[in-house]
Amino acid sequence: MIYRIVYSLLLYLLAPLLLVRLYKPQPGKPSVGKRWPEHFGFTPPLSVKHPIWVHAVSVGETIAVTPLLKQLKAAHPNTPILVTTTTPTGAEQAAKLGDLVEHRYMPLDFSWAVRRFIKVIRPRALYIMETELWPNTLAIAKQSGVSTTVINARLSERSCQRYAKFQPIFDLLAKNIDSILCQHQDDATRFERLGIAEDKIQVTGSIKFDITPATGLSAAASALRQQLGNSRPVWIAASTHSGEDEQVLQAHSALLASHPTALLILVPRHPERFNSVFSLCQQQGLNVIRRTSNDTVQNNTQVYLADTMGEMMLLLGCSDIAFVGGSLIGDKVGGHNLLEPASLSLPTLTGPSFFNFMDITRQLLEANGAAVVDDSQQLTQQLCSLFNDPEQRKSMGLAAFSVVKCNQGAIRRTITALNSQQT
**Degrees (nearest 5) of the Cα angle 374, 290, 309?**
75
Is residue 309 a contact partner of residue 89, using CB atoms and an 8 Å limit? yes
Confidence of residue 173 (pLDDT cuts 50, 70, 90): confident
Which H helix or E strand runs over 149?
strand 147-153
Q: Does domain 41-210+409-422 have CATH number 3.40.50.1110?
A: no
Domain ranges of the chain: 41-210+409-422, 217-405
Q: What is the Cα–Cα distance from 392 to 386, expressed in whole angstroms?
A: 6
Task: State the helix-helix crossing angle for 167-174 and 2-23, rounded to 10 degrees.
Answer: 90
Q: Span 138-145, mean pLDDT?
A: 96
Q: What is the Cα–Cα distance from 417 to 358, expressed in whole angstroms?
A: 25
Pairing, β 52-55 against β 125-129 = parallel
Residue 64: pLDDT over 90 = no
DSSP one-letter code for 79:
S
Confidence of residue 166 (pLDDT cuts 50, 70, 90): confident
Q: What is the pTM of this model?
A: 0.74
Query: How far from 61 is each of 93, 130, 212, CA to CA, in Å?
Result: 10, 8, 16
Residue 5 — φ and ψ, nearest 5°? -65, -45
Q: What is the Cα–Cα distance from 400 to 411, expressed in whole angstroms?
A: 20
Q: Span 103-127, mean pLDDT?
A: 96
Chain centroid to CA 419? 25
**CATH fold match for the domains 41-210+409-422 and 217-405:** yes
Task: State the helix-helix crossing angle for 245-258 and 274-283, rounded to 10 degrees.
Answer: 40
Confidence of residue 190 (pLDDT cuts 50, 70, 90): very high
**Residue of 280 and 154 predicted with greater confidence:** 280
**Residue of 211 and 192 predicted with greater confidence:** 192
Which H helix or E strand runs over 8?
helix 2-23
266 SS3 class? strand
Active-site pick, 61, 102, 130, 244:
61
Q: In terms of Cα–Cα distance, which of 162, 129, 89 is closest to 334?
A: 162
DSSP one-letter code for 44:
P
Residue 3: pLDDT over 90 = no
Question: CA-CA-CA-CA torsion for 177, 181, 182, 188, nearest 10 degrees?
Answer: 60
Q: What is the pLDDT of residues 76-107, one digit of tens each?
A: 899 999 999 998 988 988 999 999 999 999 99
What percentage of the chain reaches a pLDDT higher than 70?
Answer: 99
Sorted by sequence, the CB contacts under 8 Å of residue 378 that are 6+ apart come out as none
Confidence of residue 309 (pLDDT cuts 50, 70, 90): confident
Mean pLDDT, the chain, integer: 92
Q: Span 158-170, mean pLDDT?
A: 88
Task: Tally DSSP H helices, then E strands, for the chain.
Answer: 17, 14
Sorted by sequence, the CB contacts under 8 Å of residue 30 that are 6+ apart come out as 88, 89, 91, 92
Beta-bridged to residue 128, according to DSSP, are 55, 150
Provide CATH code, domain 217-405: 3.40.50.2000
Task: State the helix-helix crossing angle for 59-75 and 410-422, rounded to 10 degrees.
Answer: 60
Q: Return the pLDDT at 179.
A: 96
Beta-carbon count within 10 A of 350 CB: 25
Q: What is the Cα–Cα distance from 170 to 86, expressed in whole angstroms?
A: 22
Q: Which amino acid is at 248?
A: V
Q: Examine the residue annotation and report whether 61 is marked as an active-site residue of this protein.
A: yes
